[in-house]
Structure 1
Amino acid sequence: MPVDRTRFLRVSGTQIVDGNGTPLLIRGIGLAGWLLMENWITGFPGHEEGQETSVRHVLGPDLTRVFYDRFIEHFFTAADAEFLASIGINVVRLPFHYKFFESDDAPFQIKPEGFRHLDRLIEQCARHGIYTMLDLHAVPGYQNQDWHSDNPTHVAHFWRHPHFQDRVVNLWRALAEHYRDEPYVLGYNPLNEPADPTAERVGPYYRRLVEAIREVDPDHIIFLDGNRYAMDFHFFGEPTPNVVYAPHDYPPPGFMPGARYPGTFQLMHVTAPRRAATPPSRSRRTTGTRRPSRRASWSAPSTCARPARPSWSASSTPSSTATTS
């Protein structure tokens, strides 16, 4: 049965809109700690790979497999989707690890069972009118130097080795083909917080990724993080259709230990009106370009719709600025 493509959300001017052209005010959360476990969320030191190694050392391989299978199965249920809808959430950003879809021992071979957990969450959320954004949080070779890409080496090998880059292109082509007809997928966030030390490879690689996705899925929105942990957008210039910027702005209240909101941080009183009037420079770079942008990573309800226009060059002129909220 043909899919009604008008049901997909899309970018229109400065807004994300539905099939009728009605702007969508996003109230989102990040479902972190599930398909990629982070120490400060799940409650363990180090990174996911090290934690799994420690558990395997204590429990052995069989019980470790049972433990993680149960953890993944029960972390998010239909009751959770119902609760999120009851408090007004309409978008879930889902971070996930590449290992669910591909093994380092068998590169380029997509594991069909990897779709099972994503399919379940998307279906449960869709029943309550909640959209899902797919966020590839950890890639082969690590796209950044920190724990949240499950990186034990503190070196972003991904940017040095075309083999890793090729595997991610292959993975996103498979993901886009699988979800191309799913209207309750808000869109694709193909790399979380990339950090290329040279700042020369992110733009060209994004062009390659977007082209690969568009070969199989012309409709879903693509959300692009800037370089240096989604803070540097200088290489974006001319627009690409149906693409949204994703700056990551971490306000100290809510993230820093002991920081209160509203409250004072570094001798500055922090309130919502003040933050709206004085956005960080990294966020200002994503505005004034007649494309939406999304603030991330979500950990509490938030809103978005702001423009962005990628050009894929490594050294293009920064776009003009405007006020963000």
Structure 2
Amino acid sequence: MTAATFDGFVHADGDRLVDGEGRRLQWRGMGLGNWLLPEGYMWVLHGGPQSPRAIESMISTLVGQPRATEFWRRFRDVFIAEADIARMAAEGFDHVRLAINARVVMSDDAAPLDDGLALVDRLIDWCRTHRLWVVLDLHGAPGGQTGTNIDDSPNGRPELFEDPRHRERTIELWSMLARRYRDETVVAGYDLLNEPIPDDYQHRYADDLAGIYRDLTTAIRAVDPNHLIIYEGSHWATNWSIFTEVWDANSMLQFHKYWSPPDRPSIQQYLDARTRLGLPIYMGEGGENALDWFQTMFQLLEDHEIGWNFWPWKKIDTTTSPCSIDPPPGWSDIVAWAAGQAPQPSADDAAKVLDDLLDRMRLNRCTYRPDVVNAMMRRVPLRLPATGFTFDAGGASRPRGAQPLAGFRDDDGVTVRFTGDGEPDWAHASYSQPAEGFEVVLDTGDWVEYEMTLAAPGVLEVTVEVGGVAFPDVAVDGVSLEPSGTAGLYRTPVPIAAGTHRLRVTATRGDTSLVALTVAPG
């Protein structure tokens, strides 16, 4: 990772993303969801309100408008604070992607909103202090670009593409932001539209999406010649069929990745586009899954020199984000009422719960989950699923008799066996369940390699989980680990230096069914 430097602008250099000094960037970032654009699932409002305007209505119904206004003012101060940015920097992240709701920074008559813009300015100042770049992400465009809760669309339709007034306001919004930040090198780029036109809309409005991207590019370049422009594909940023030409030389293409196999075939269309168009590519949003999926997916991206951004930093009662807000007593009553399953709490009772919730949103009150960060960074201590071996040419021995698993890493020349029933389910946390497991089967002499990073030097212990009785040999950077006397447990003979290392597992005592490795300080 290259530490953020603000001497010059992040920009595209052919198909590479580079900083102002021309150094290639391997981005590792964090998504700031739910702060300027709340989403219902991040509040565990299952069966309740999902969009920002619906959540705002819920709060005002509970406690009245004056107290609701104060709630949101305090929420903006505590949900993302400087302590959060400092922690991201300490963990090794180099940028944040800020999800912006248009109506937080611009009024209905296209006037800038000082209070909302001050929040963006404050975040930029914090990121300057802690050496992170900022990507400005228009998550909720005027009228809505998706027609779902995630863009705060007022009528559940992508009216950005249906009403020319919304199109003009979106152009005015990006012109205003580009004019405001044109000299700000902490701002890395402009992410024009988040996940536009999903599902059937991807076909109906494909030409309109390409057209508004061109218009936004022209408007931005009229006031800002320097910042990187980022274009997302349609259908949750997975369909890149509109990208047939280069609209701006200083641009980058973005895809998102959720609930799909973490393997090369799943990203091949994006790799092909990078080669064809000569532009850098970026996985700007991914997560909401299990630790094994994180480890493999982010290994996949980095082995293919794709920068990434994890989604999101903080949610209520979660195991899939670094920060989990512990819900206060009484929050479940509000959730049940919002879902129509319980009576409405009194205004005073609800106000007490909301006040407690705000206090619990502070970083020092959250339950921090280092295992989530360790999985995406492949940082010790961590679990390495057998199928998380590296994707580069040196990642496996590629035996002739391999029997790849159809639909998952089937281009890697390694025997992978699914041990669950039916077909693998890549959705959410099911990937990590024992019933949904995988094994890598190694014949004698076969090997696979994994990447791991140590924050500090030290002796390591590696526990190998196998599906049979044959245990492999294990080595780190070519140095064999010593069996401890306990089956499957190995130790490094000498301390290992801080930094990134290769861990090789070789079948030497007969065919080996490898399930996982756990790496921990010795």
Same fold (TM over 0.5): yes
State how far apart, in whole Å, the 2-side matches of 1:24 and 1:102 are.
32
Aligned with residue 207 of structure 1, among 214, 218, 228: 214
State how far apart, in whole Å, the 2-side matches of 1:251 and 1:186 are.
28
Please tell me the residue identity of whatever aligns with 1:63.
R
Q: Which moved more, 1:4-13 or 1:243-252?
A: 4-13
Deviations 1:102-144 (A, max 9, x none): 233xx22222332100111111012111001000111221111
The residue that corresponds to 1:295 in the other structure is: 283
Normalised to the residue count of structure 1, the TM-score between the two structures is 0.81
The residue that corresponds to 1:255 in the other structure is: none
2:97 matches 1:93: yes
Q: Does the CA-based 8 Å contact 1:143-1:157 persist in structure 2?
A: yes
State how far apart, in whole Å, the 1-side matches of 2:175 and 2:250 are.
17
The residue that corresponds to 2:455 in the other structure is: none
The residue that corresponds to 2:251 in the other structure is: 243
What's the CA shift for 1:201? 0.3
Please tell me the residue identity of whatever aligns with 1:233.
W
Deviations 1:224-265 (A, max 9, x none): 11122212221222222111001112135xxxxxxxxxxxxx
Q: 1:74 to 1:6 in 2, by over 3 A?
A: closer
Q: 1:184 to 1:50 in 2, by over 3 A?
A: same
State how far apart, in whole Å, the 2-side matches of 1:141 and 1:178 are.
23
Question: If you compute each CA radius of gyration, which structure gives the higher value, 1 or 2?
Answer: 2
Q: Does the CA-based 8 Å contact 1:234-1:285 persist in structure 2?
A: no
Please tell me the residue identity of whatever aligns with 2:119.
H
Please tell me the residue identity of whatever aligns with 1:114.
G
Q: Which moved more, 1:226-235 or 1:4-13?
A: 4-13
State how far apart, in whole Å, the 1-side matches of 2:273 and 2:218 are.
22
State how far apart, in whole Å, the 2-side matches of 1:283 and 1:19 are.
25
Please tell me the residue identity of whatever aligns with 1:189.
D
Count of aligned pairs between the two proteins: 282
Gaps of 5+ in 1: 253-269, 308-322
Q: Helix, strand or coil: the match of 1:297? A: strand
Q: Which moved more, 1:195-204 or 1:215-224?
A: 195-204
Aligned with residue 118 of structure 1, among 114, 120, 135: 120
The residue that corresponds to 2:191 in the other structure is: 189
Gaps of 5+ in 2: 288-293, 308-410, 412-522
Q: 1:93 to 1:5 in 2, by over 3 A?
A: closer
The residue that corresponds to 2:84 in the other structure is: 80
Q: Helix, strand or coil: the match of 1:109? A: coil
Q: Helix, strand or coil: the match of 2:155? A: coil
Matches within 5 A, 1:1-325: 7-44=8-45, 45=48, 46-104=50-108, 107-151=109-153, 153-195=155-197, 196=201, 197-239=204-246, 240-252=248-260, 275=263, 277-280=264-267, 283-284=270-271, 286-288=273-275, 289-299=277-287
Q: Does the CA-based 8 Å contact 1:82-1:128 persist in structure 2?
A: yes
Bigger proportion of residues as strand: 2
Please tell me the residue identity of whatever aligns with 1:283.
Y
Q: Does the CA-based 8 Å contact 2:26-2:306 persist in structure 1?
A: no
Identity of aligned residues (%): 29
Q: Helix, strand or coil: the match of 2:24? A: coil
Q: Does the CA-based 8 Å contact 1:91-1:131 persist in structure 2?
A: yes
Q: Does the CA-based 8 Å contact 1:56-1:64 persist in structure 2?
A: yes
Please tell me the residue identity of whatever aligns with 1:297.
E
State how far apart, in whole Å, the 2-side matches of 1:139 and 1:129 are.
28
Q: Helix, strand or coil: the match of 1:200? A: helix
Structure with higher RCO (Cα < 8 A, 6+ apart): 1
Deviations 1:46-80 (A, max 9, x none): 22111111211121111000000000111111211
Deviations 1:283-305 (A, max 9, x none): 34533122111102145895675
